[in-house]
Amino acid sequence: PCTLNDYLELVDWSGRAIVHGKRGTIDENLPPILERLKLRPEASLKFIRRDQESRFGHFIGAVESMKTLAQQFGKRFLKGQTAAAALFSPG
């Protein structure tokens, strides 16, 4: 078994591999995936262990991103903003 962080790092690493015929790659100048997602490692472990995805509705992400989506859909809020604040680093 591997941790979520290990899995995400593997996905990031394989996405950066330049393979002939591969349709897309992750730009080598981008920061690592865990840094880009701004996940708080300790919170992500709690999230996985406690089946926290039920605390979210249809979307998961940083609070500011969720607020932007809510505006786009004409809603005042989206379910999961409290959980998002605990899971994602601000900014």
- Rounded to two decimals, what is the model's pTM? 0.43
Q: Which domain holds residue 4?
A: 1-37
Mean pLDDT for the chain overall: 76
Residue 39 buriedness (CB in 10 A; 0-12 / 13-18 / 19+): buried
Count how many Cα atoms sit within 13 Å of the Cα of residue 28 in the half-sphere of its side chain: 2
pLDDT band at 79 (very low <50, low <70, confident <90, very high): confident
Structure confidence at residue 46 (pLDDT):
65
Instruction: Judge if 66 and 31 occupy the same domain.
Output: no
How do residues 50-67 score in pLDDT, each as one tens digit? 655 567 777 777 888 888
Instruction: Judge if 29 and 9 occupy the same domain.
Output: yes
What are the φ and ψ backbone dihedral angles of 20, each rounded to 5 degrees?
A: -60, 130
